[in-house]
Structure 1
Amino acid sequence: MMRLLVPAILLALVPLGAAHAQERERINQIVVYGDDPCPPSTGDEIVVCARKSENERFRIPENLRGNPTDPARDSWVNRAERLEYVGRSGIGSCTPTGSGGASGCFNQLMRQAREELAVGDGTNWTQLVEAARQERLGQIDEQAERIEAQIKAEEEAKAPQ
């Protein structure tokens, strides 16, 4: 009876430990260059690295190079889109005037977010964090399997033959 109970208790506690670790984890996002090593994750911290080429090490990030407000950099599509919204009020406009003026604020925020993503450096931090999380969960599973194997070995050694 005891032989069956101990592994069941351990298996029941492993998901609790994993859930507890996920609640308190810290995520450190680092950009490394060339062949520099990514610092290892320690304790309750997950380190996620995005790798850039060596020639980008001391350069200003691409999205900050040049003058972003230079009119020559603005495409005619963006200018035409801004003209479309000049003087707009009422429903769907995100203004305090007119009925339903606030209803367009979400659309405006989404449009700005898409523009910011288009200008970004292309690093998908969400995907990198998820990969690091899965790696960490794999380590927890391996540790649980080692503990379970150790307990089984101890039980077999103690069992009368």
Structure 2
Amino acid sequence: MKSLLSATLLATGAVLAMPAQAQDQPGDKVNMVIIYGEDECPPSSDDVINVCARKAESERFRIPETLRQSDAPDNVAWTQRVDRYETVGKFGALSCSPTGAGGFTGCTQALVDAAYGEKKEAPGIRFSQLIDAERQDRLSTIDAEAAAEQERVEQIEKQYEARLEAERNAPLPGEEASAPPTDLITPPSEPDSE
């Protein structure tokens, strides 16, 4: 019985260890390469997979884009430094300061001002300006199309009114077309009083 139990435990341990052994084997090596301009991506070999990212030729000898901007104090503009010095002594209402009564009331405004400042000086694509420009282009074509459509509708209305006027002035069937209608009314004749 002990031998059966130990054999079962040994077999279970071996079965559970098989996936772990499969995971221990190293997979293919991956080589990530950044290439510039028209450079060729090095071919992959049997044991190494080459993955290439292509960038413009103008980026070849430049500092990587993620390292170009720095928030170090040395890189802060003087106007921003002066603004910071001006706010050192601010406390009280609308100051976003832990000291003084109502110091917390200016924190939201400070966050909003900081966000707009970052947005204003951000070097990235300004989608709001692109959207506004596209809207203006679209509205200019819509206005031109609307003016052309309005002119076409007015022309159709004039033609329709001219046709109605011609139908009103046309003689009815059975009427004489040669004798124009007279506007004079003949009074009824009075009987003679003889």
Same fold (TM over 0.5): no
Q: What's the TM-score once normalised by structure 1's chain length?
A: 0.42
* Higher relative contact order (CA closer than 8 Å, sequence separation 6+): 1
Report which of the two structures shows the higher radius of gyration computed on alpha carbons. Answer: 2
Q: What's the TM-score once normalised by structure 2's chain length?
A: 0.36
